[in-house]
Amino acid sequence: MALRTKCIFDPKEKDDGLRVSIMRSHNNPDGVTPDSRIQKDLFNRHLSNLAPSEELLGQFHRRRVAWEEFEKRFSWELELGDNPVTLREIAKISLRTNVTILSVERDSRFSHRRVVADKCQQLVPGILVEHYI
């Protein structure tokens, strides 16, 4: 069993298990218009609380913060509120069955889904994390 990270547009696979969207919204970059490519059949759960804040995401997209700073600040955001509980829940589920966390970025090296997976691994040591680029 594993916690996987993939682009939401990658084809669904039987081994994906529970597919969890961790995007703030399923909109186009304008933040308002729904992205018609993202249909509800692409994921089983939507946990928008595990997405970066709009402020941080906007700063990153406008290149006001570098990736390293984004990672650091987003990792801090994941420690707020109920996020640790949600992260632990996802990690524990991945011990029993595959869980695939999804976001729109193609490259997981520069995607918040990698930060989420790494945080899950910190909270529940021993889970297997697989990043699909």
Q: What is the reported pTM?
A: 0.91
Per-domain residue ranges of the chain = 3-131
What φ, ψ does residue 100 adopt, rounded to 5°?
-120, 120
State pLDDT tens for residues 64-105.
999 999 999 999 999 999 999 999 999 999 999 999 999 999
State pLDDT tens for residues 9-31.
999 999 999 999 999 887 766 66
Token duo for residue 131: 């990043």
